[in-house]
Amino acid sequence: MSAHIVIINDLSEPMGGASLLALKSAIEFADRGHRVTFVTGDDGSDLLRDAGVEIVALGQQRLLAAGVAKSAVRGLYNPGARKMLERWIQANDNGRAVYHLHGWAQILSPSIFVPLRKVADRLIMSAHDFFVTCPNGAMYDFKRQKHCELKPMSTQCVMRNCDRRSYLQKGWRLARHSVLAQTRPGFDEFPPLMLIHKSMADYFAKGGVEARDMFVLPNPITPFCNSRVPAETNKAALFVGRIECTKGIDRAAEACRRAGIPLIAIGTGELLSRLRETYPEHQWLGWKPAESIGAYAAQARMLLMPSTAIEPFGLTAVEGLWSGLPVVFSDRALLAGEIKQAGAGAGVDPYDIDGFAALLKSWTGNDPLVRGLSINAIEGTRGLALSWNAWIERLQESYEAILRGGKSELAKLYDTEDSEVAPITYRTSKPLREAAFRSNTDLSNAAG
């Protein structure tokens, strides 16, 4: 492929799943000899520079980190981000560049859609969240603690106080979504939207995304450990992710305390200092590089993913499953049904701390149960995601298709044969489904 790959994301550091995917894909494509440009809202990362990736950096901070006043204005429409991308496209685009947008809601803002109009026929968007249709980005009512069934930006949506902070914050989000509606015109149709889980389709359909515009490409996974963790011999619970309330880490910490289980928490975020002080019996390790997490996973009996909002995928859950760690997952996770069907974990309501703690305690004294869950985790969940190599190859094929003939050519890589989200249809790759099946059968002796 002679294409120039342009990856766009708010952040160039692996602060979360979306940023990790954007960053690692840029490095991988550069390693394969492609010309790669990474457009970012922050200062750019040494990881990208060391890989030979061209960096176009705005040099700004995430929302709120730069102060409330600046963030309120920049978050609605960031003129610096628009000008930066506009100038780069004008100076560098030769008609053979493909653009992949991962995240814009933290720094870049809706303003970047203005210059992207010029290359709309060569743009792919990844749906790591619901911000392109939902003002709060979650399709979740934080006040009522349940999935939102309203049509985004309908009168009911506008009037609903659903934000996790306040209705004032909801008002700001509504204003940003109105700006988004003004910047997107100029696109003849919605750009291809790559969903990380098929169940996202229903929610995007409520926001007006047509079935023909949605494609399902599961996330890539590298397990924490290369062989099964003997979870039944361990005691601790493991959490890997942002230390923020939407991830349910505060509830996990309390549930572990009540159950008498030590918690190993890896990640950083707004709650870290408070939780360290409130729960000193747990290990609060902060951010750790991916290659070091295996040592902590090897000490764990289970992995916790107690998100209080909809979890579109949950990279760390599958990383844990593929390492043989049973997962205690939120009933708000879109992977919940598949993990349960595999017999590899159990669901909880993260708002029910007593129930959460009771489940953890029930696993503490039942080694045979945990061993069975662990074996099921490593043997029965390979169809949930892709290897990094398979994911990169499918992305490359998708980029080539976009350059050949836009969305219609991209659709030829995908089909609708296994749609289960009636009446919404979506496209998922048949070759990838077959590869997932082969992965399952290849692991028949992997449990150990």
Residue range 334-350, pLDDT digits in tens: 889 999 999 999 999 99
Instruction: Tell whether 167 and 61 lie within a shared domain.
Output: yes
**Is the pLDDT confidence value at 224 over 50?**
yes
Instruction: Tell whether 93 and 37 lie within a shared domain.
Output: yes
- Here the CATH number for the domain that contains residue 69 is 3.40.50
Residue 185 confidence class, pLDDT cut points 50, 70, 90 = low
**H or E, element range at 404:** helix 388-411
Task: Please give the Cα distance from 106 to 19 (Å, whole number).
Answer: 11
Query: Using one digit for the tens of pLDDT, what is the confidence trace for 231-257?
Result: 999 999 999 999 998 899 999 999 999
Query: Using one digit for the tens of pLDDT, what is the confidence trace for 144-179?
Result: 878 888 999 999 999 999 998 899 999 999 999 999
- Tell me the two tokens of residue 395: 């992305």
Rg (the chain; Cα; Å): 21
Instruction: Tell whether 170 and 64 lie within a shared domain.
Output: yes
Residue 418 pLDDT: 42
Flag whether 424 is in a domain.
no
Flag whether 349 is in a domain.
yes
Task: Please give the Cα distance from 318 to 410 (Å, whole number).
Answer: 27
Flag whether 147 is in a domain.
yes
Instruction: Tell whether 12 and 50 lie within a shared domain.
Output: yes
Task: Please give the Cα distance from 259 to 255 (Å, whole number).
Answer: 6
Q: Which of 192, 216, 240 is the last residue of a domain?
A: 216
Location of structure tokens 């149709």: 189
- Tell me the two tokens of residue 20: 């990790």
Instruction: Tell whether 28 and 123 lie within a shared domain.
Output: yes
**What's the order of all strands across the beta sheet hosting 35-40?**
54-57, 35-40, 4-9, 97-103, 123-127, 193-195, 214-216, 427-428
Instruction: Tell whether 211 and 242 lie within a shared domain.
Output: no
Residue 188 pLDDT: 61
**Is the pLDDT confidence value at 2 over 70?**
no
Lowest mean pLDDT, pick from 52-61, 371-380, 427-436:
427-436
Flag whether 108 is in a domain.
yes
Flag whether 393 is in a domain.
no
Residue 417 pLDDT: 42
Flag whether 270 is in a domain.
yes
Residue 176 pLDDT: 95
Instruction: Tell whether 365 and 307 lie within a shared domain.
Output: yes
At 400, the amino acid letter reads E
Segment 382-401 shows an average pLDDT of 92
Instruction: Tell whether 183 and 260 lie within a shared domain.
Output: no
Task: Please give the Cα distance from 114 to 97 (Å, whole number).
Answer: 17
Q: Three-state SS for 227?
A: coil
Measure CA of the first residue to CA of the last residue in the chain; give whole Å.
41
Q: Which of 216, 249, 277 is the last residue of a domain?
A: 216
196 closest CA partner among 378, 21, 328, 397: 21
Instruction: Tell whether 191 and 249 lie within a shared domain.
Output: no
Instruction: Tell whether 264 and 117 lie within a shared domain.
Output: no
Query: Using one digit for the tens of pLDDT, what is the confidence trace for 28-72?
Result: 999 999 999 999 999 999 999 999 999 999 999 888 676 677 788
Contact assessment for residue 217 and residue 397, using Cβ atoms and an 8 Å cutoff: no
pLDDT exceeding 90 applies to what percent of the chain? 70
Q: Which of 382, 414, 443 is the last residue of a domain?
A: 382
Contact assessment for residue 84 and residue 56, using Cβ atoms and an 8 Å cutoff: yes
**Is the pLDDT confidence value at 1 over 70?**
no
As a whole number, the mean pLDDT across the chain is 88
Instruction: Tell whether 155 and 295 lie within a shared domain.
Output: no
Q: What b/e sequence results for 253-275 when a residue is b if at least 16 CB atoms lie within 10 Å of its CB, and e otherwise?
A: bbbbbebebbbbbbbbbebbeeb
Lowest mean pLDDT, pick from 25-39, 60-74, 204-218, 430-444:
430-444
pLDDT exceeding 70 applies to what percent of the chain? 90
Task: Please give the Cα distance from 5 to 403 (Å, whole number).
Answer: 11
Flag whether 394 is in a domain.
no
Q: What are the φ/ψ torsions at residue 380 (nearest 5 degrees)?
A: -115, 10
Global pTM?
A: 0.82
Domains in the chain, number: 2
- Here the CATH number for the domain that contains residue 299 is 3.40.50.2000
What is the span of the domain harbouring residue 122?
Answer: 4-216
193 closest CA partner among 169, 209, 208: 209
Task: Please give the Cα distance from 28 to 220 (Å, whole number).
Answer: 13
Instruction: Tell whether 198 and 286 lie within a shared domain.
Output: no
Burial tier of 124 (Cβ tally within 10 Å: 0-12, 13-18, 19+): buried
Residue 415 pLDDT: 65
